[in-house]
Structure 1
Amino acid sequence: MSKTINLFEFVKYSWKKSEELKDLPKKKKFSDELEKVLDHIWLERNKFIPSENLYYLSKSKKQRFIDFRKNEIVPRNWIGTIHFRGKEDEYIINLLPKIFHNENKNLNEIEINGIFTHILWWLTGSEKQNYSTVENSLEALESNLLEVMVYLFSEYTLDVFSSNSYNYYETVEEDLQTVKGYTDFNQYVNNYARGNHHIIPCVYDSFQYNNKFNQIVKYVARLLKDFTKNKITKRNLEELLFILDEVEYKTVTIEDCDQVILNPIYTEFKTILDNCKLFLSSLSVYKWKDDYSVFALLIPSEKLFENFIFSILKNNQGDQIKRVSRSRPGRSYLAKQLPDKNRFKMLSDIVLKLATNDYLIFDTKYKKIYNSNIDDDELDPIYNISQSDIYQMVSYAIASGVSNIGLIYPSLPSEDKNKELPIYEISDALSDGKLIRIFPFKVDIIHSKGLEFEVIGKLEDVFLEAKNKLIGQLHTVVETIYNFKIETTK
């Protein structure tokens, strides 16, 4: 039996009542096994997940991917796929972005594929996963994010390796009977003392096909081939492995990817390496009690949104922006613990240096904001912007000396796009009444047709209109903040 379960972030799913879970057989066993599997992935996360996100630094031994409650489960802030394959049962659990959730509508297969296509677009802009160059039709694939990503990787990588091979000069240490390169005399002295004066330890550069880059590609290709069910993907990976037959098969890690330095002219190989790094940093693959094989690809949604917006701005700066970075003026820590220890490191999402040499700081917030009509002192009663977000931005402003801070939220598909958000103003009494202004904005990261659009051709062409609109919105955000500053100082 194969069962696909689609779950949205932060939505409550009842074991007994929700459409997604109510028909599952052996719910208790499934729940217990799933929680244990996620606990295992969580404990191993430092091996395959970058460490920038604060969730990664948690000392908790309990997983933070899905909350398991007495009568329900609630996915947290991760998107991706968890794939169980057992002797009799098979489960594919897709964790989907909350911005697409509509409690009044069940999504069809085309719309689910539309969500996956959006995630791929965000990845192409944030982690340099250059799937945009691949001709593809995602409608022909299963509703499984992992299968979609593996398919696109296999198509692109096979296309590159079919017409190019990657060879690289690597330093080789080898015992020879004639000198090649230069002699390691320290080792030769040891050989001579043992009566092996005819053995010369040599160090030389060799133009190697069996290099670390090709070993990484081979390892990832075999890893993915053993799990994919898509016939086209499996065939692509088998052909790729045939091409790499002379390359040594060895286990590699994300650290091995960081050790590979590619010539800038090899842009297509850089794309492949970035994709291998994504898989190695996001996958957890193992056997569970000899009953299940587990294949999980999980991406932190806040980090994906942040990296996507950062990359769009950095690659499309325009005339008014001199530099986009994560380095900001001022100090890096909020407080000093006496006598001399820094505490509470501040991580800026996006720092802009304008052509005028002014600075703006932006923080991305992957949250739904809308008219809440909730009487809560912790929220803006009209826009439900949280008090904690404002506190955080005030601390950024005080530490950096930058008084104009932007908050960037994603727009929701069905909301009023023309509704402006308020500006928050705080008087800093410690700086002679200097005003700190916080500007919330919403930007569109969704196709103009929502989820029902035709996916034919290149991904970059499918989302070209949406990308151009987003670039325009971000430039307007920068202009709005700067012009407001100019008007208020006249």
Structure 2
Amino acid sequence: MYILFEYGDHISVTDRIGLEIYLHSLWQNHKELWKDQMPEADDLPKREFQPFISFDGVRAKANNFVGFIHYGNELLEIYPKVFRQMLNPNKELMHQHLFYWFSYCKKIKFPFNQSFLNNFDSDYFPELIIYLIANQINEVVNTKPYSAYEEVEEALLMPRGKINFGRYTRNLAFGKSQYIDCDYEPFVYDNKVNRVIKYCVRLLLSKTVVPETQRILNGTINVLDEVEDQVCSITQLNQIKIPTLFVDYEDVMHSCRMIIENQVYSYVEYEMKNWSVLFPMEYIFEDFISGFLKKHFNQEFDIESQKSELYLHQDPQTFNLQHDILLTNRKTKEKIIIDTKYKPRWGLSVSDKKKGVSQSDMYQMISYAYRRGTDKVILLYPNTSDKLAEDYMFTVQKSKENEHIKIKVVDIPFWSSTDHKEVESKLLTKLGSVLLSGF
């Protein structure tokens, strides 16, 4: 097992070609979900592309996705770069932070539950993921059994539902006139949703070695005993629509998607030969901040994520502008653009007049402010230590002497070297002072 950090040290892998082929196939499933993380088509290399790992011969280095890659006999656990310079980084602390961030993320439907984690003693990342998913599925199928109308095509001696005359006339040529081809929809427990769930539970059971997790998964299989065992694909999962009455099953289907999309089938139907779970950290950082703001500052601001209705050029519409977060003060209607930059400003010194901000980012923020018609922009960076860097204000003069665009650069508490629970209160205080005190 290898412990890696984003853009950290290289490691040597035994099967570079096989691993790279697997990662290419993995990206085919990821790219629609994380298409904003994929370079423009013109910038892609001619060969197949995957953004997870960079290779140099048999040496491999993690890029900007965190999680784990389980290929053959090799396991790579990849953690956020913000922990890379800690004196004694430990896996339990990093896991706690990851699950805390996920709890605020909206696009990443991760089955986070702190009470489940409190009862589980393991620092093995894949087992933690399996344990959380196992508990989520078990809790839902036990508390709210799912039955649904399933369309059935069957030849019967007595008509039921609708008679399918097309099939019936075709079957007359085979001497089956006594059978009536019917289409009907019985209300059944053995349905597409439960078959997908049962299949995913068996896949997880093939990977876990923890007795407690095995017990939970076997319990779920017993509950689904009446459901047919069936190998399921992502195509079948995409055809499923969950009624609003069973909203908890939407989250279960997201977990099933995570299982099916990230595994490669082996020769054994109910075994995961390779399985990986990977998330882009840039999006986690942005989604976490957005979710945190919507929970704690919704009364003061209208908060919009990924606001993207503006273009630099109008006819035709080109060069789309997409703000990470747009705040509109509910009282004054004043707008504030927030851009999240998952770029730790390591070793920030007093002599750095740019304060760790890149020139391209500055140009981007100025264009955002001009086109949006606001003079307030905030750049949010993750902390590089428990002590935050001081805020800094860049003032960009417009054409008129008394008009300026104010770009505030802010370090926020994103992680703690001692306890992830500290982040909540410190972040609330920091963002409150930045947003509510004015510029």
- Could you say whether these structures have the same fold, taking a TM-score greater than 0.5 normalized by the shorter chain as the test? yes
In 2, Cα distance between equivalents of 1:230 and 1:327: 44
Deviates most, 132-141 or 185-194: 185-194
Aligned partner of residue 79 in structure 1, secondary structure: strand
Cα deviation for residue 297 of structure 1 reads: 1.7
| C-alpha contact 1:39 1:62 (8 A) present in aligned 2 | no
1:234 counterpart = 2:214: yes
In 1, Cα distance between equivalents of 2:245 and 2:114: 17
Aligned CA distance change for structure 1 residues 206 and 285 (closer, same or farther; 3 Å):
same
In 2, Cα distance between equivalents of 1:470 and 1:361: 18
Match of 1:75 in 2: 62
Cα deviation for residue 12 of structure 1 reads: 2.9
Match of 1:479 in 2: 436
The answer for unaligned runs of 5 or more in structure 1 is 14-20, 22-26, 454-461, 485-490
Cα deviation for residue 77 of structure 1 reads: 0.4
Once the two structures are superposed, the pairs formed by residues 89-488 of structure 1 within 5 Å of their partners are: 90-102=73-85, 105-107=87-89, 111-126=90-105, 127-132=108-113, 134-137=115-118, 140-141=121-122, 143-183=123-163, 200-254=180-234, 256-281=236-261, 283-286=262-265, 293-328=273-308, 330-331=309-310, 333-335=311-313, 342-356=317-331, 357-373=333-349, 381=353, 383-412=355-384, 414-417=385-388, 419-429=389-399, 435-447=404-416, 450-451=417-418, 463=421, 466-480=423-437, 483-484=438-439
| C-alpha contact 2:307 2:324 (8 A) present in aligned 1 | no
Residue identity opposite 1:37 in structure 2: L
In 2, Cα distance between equivalents of 1:428 and 1:252: 59
Per chain length, whose mean CA-contact separation is higher, i.e. which structure has more relative contact order (CA < 8 Å, sep 6+)?
1
In 2, Cα distance between equivalents of 1:47 and 1:121: 26
Aligned CA distance change for structure 1 residues 298 and 130 (closer, same or farther; 3 Å):
closer
| C-alpha contact 2:37 2:280 (8 A) present in aligned 1 | no
Aligned partner of residue 303 in structure 1, secondary structure: helix
In 2, Cα distance between equivalents of 1:74 and 1:149: 23
Match of 1:41 in 2: 23
Aligned CA distance change for structure 1 residues 345 and 382 (closer, same or farther; 3 Å):
closer
1:139-175, CA deviations, whole angstroms, 9 ceiling, x for partnerless residues?
A: 721x322211111211232233234311123444444
Aligned partner of residue 247 in structure 1, secondary structure: coil
TM-score, scaled relative to structure 2 = 0.82
| C-alpha contact 1:138 1:148 (8 A) present in aligned 2 | no
Aligned CA distance change for structure 1 residues 382 and 169 (closer, same or farther; 3 Å):
same
In 1, Cα distance between equivalents of 2:404 and 2:236: 48
Aligned CA distance change for structure 1 residues 188 and 38 (closer, same or farther; 3 Å):
same
Cα deviation for residue 295 of structure 1 reads: 2.3
The answer for unaligned runs of 5 or more in structure 2 is none
| C-alpha contact 1:371 1:382 (8 A) present in aligned 2 | no
In 2, Cα distance between equivalents of 1:40 and 1:334: 40
Aligned CA distance change for structure 1 residues 313 and 205 (closer, same or farther; 3 Å):
farther
In 2, Cα distance between equivalents of 1:253 and 1:435: 55
Residue identity opposite 2:409 in structure 1: P
Aligned CA distance change for structure 1 residues 240 and 41 (closer, same or farther; 3 Å):
same
In 1, Cα distance between equivalents of 2:251 and 2:204: 17
Once the two structures are superposed, the pairs formed by residues 47-86 of structure 1 within 5 Å of their partners are: 47-49=29-31, 50-55=33-38, 59-60=44-45, 61-69=48-56, 73-85=60-72
Cα deviation for residue 280 of structure 1 reads: 3.8
Aligned partner of residue 289 in structure 2, secondary structure: helix
Cα deviation for residue 9 of structure 1 reads: 0.9
